[in-house]
Amino acid sequence: MASIIVTGVSRGIGEALAAALLERGHRVVGISRSGNAALRSHAEYREIAADLGDSAALERLLRQALELSGPSARTEGIGLVNNAAVLRPLRGAESSSPAEIAYHLQVNLAAPVVLCALFARHTELWACDKRILNVTSASAEILLPGMSCYCTAKAGLDVFTRTMGLEQQAKAHPIRVASVWPGMIETSMQAEAREQPAAAFPGRDVFVAAKEDGLLSTAAHTAGRLADLLFSNAYPQGEVVRNLEGFSSR
């Protein structure tokens, strides 16, 4: 039984991934602002309420998550999935407030980078299978007007992932780190994008068309593929996984 720390478990992909991992017999430490009542019924689920926008709390948060992972994590394996994200502001940079921009980049970029760094520091001597999966997006390369903050954060996290992969190669007990584009999924974030006024968010039409054309996957299906990737013998090092198909769990 491995222990996996997952951020953003209150809904969407994070909730579905946590459920999939629990179903496969792993322990999950879920992190979110509001928690998840449905997941609490599982014996191997542990929960921490936290706002990743609070940078001062991240050190304590990661330490607590590792403690809740249990002693078996040091031998059975430990993972970190940085999934939590915010979508807004969905408008031009000039129309976004400094506070909105700062909070967005804190949650979507700074927090996962800091959690990766702390995870590496606190598990450096752990001689077990250690993996980090950063959930990013095709928005790192496919740019839409009104999504300058989101695209910037996802591109930055992809670059960080690739660089951290290089750094880990020289370690005695390296962490395998990858990022993944999960594809377009029917979640509350998709609905939020579709509901924006077109005048403020020109990229809205892309999300509306994806829904109308039946191009959206389900959170449950995507979560299964993410779990397969996370436990695959072919788990990459320092790479961006652009296609989830083809991975099988060990």
The answer as to whether 209 is a domain residue is no
The answer as to whether 200 is a domain residue is no
The answer as to whether 247 is a domain residue is no
- Domain with 136 in it: 3-184+219-241
3-class DSSP state of 199: coil
CATH of residue 110's domain is 3.40.50.720
Q: What is the pLDDT of residues 3-57, one digit of tens each?
A: 999 999 999 999 999 999 999 999 999 999 999 999 999 999 999 999 999 999 9
Residue 176 pLDDT class (50, 70, 90 cuts): very high
Mean local confidence (pLDDT), 197-224: 95
The answer as to whether 199 is a domain residue is no
Cβ pair 236, 180 in contact under 8 A: no
The answer as to whether 169 is a domain residue is yes
Please compute, for residue 239, the number of CA atoms within 13 A of its CA located in the half-sphere on the CB side: 9
The answer as to whether 212 is a domain residue is no
Mean local confidence (pLDDT), 209-217: 96
Hunting for tokens 């077990």 — which residue is that? 128
pTM for this prediction: 0.97
The answer as to whether 208 is a domain residue is no
β-pair type (130-135, 176-180): parallel
Please compute, for residue 178, the number of CA atoms within 13 A of its CA located in the half-sphere on the CB side: 21
Nearest to 108 by CA among 89, 123, 91: 89
Number of domains comprising the chain: 1
Q: What is the pLDDT of residues 103-133, one digit of tens each?
A: 999 999 999 999 999 999 999 999 999 999 9
Residue 209 pLDDT class (50, 70, 90 cuts): very high
Q: Write down the catalytic residue from 45, 103, 150, 235.
A: 150
Residue 146 pLDDT class (50, 70, 90 cuts): very high
The answer as to whether 203 is a domain residue is no
Q: Which two tokens stand for residue 13?
A: 């992909």
Task: Identify the pLDDT of residue 164.
Answer: 99
Crossing angle for the helix pair 219-230 and 12-23, nearest 10 degrees? Answer: 60
Would residue 235 show up in a list of annotated catalytic residues for this protein?
A: no
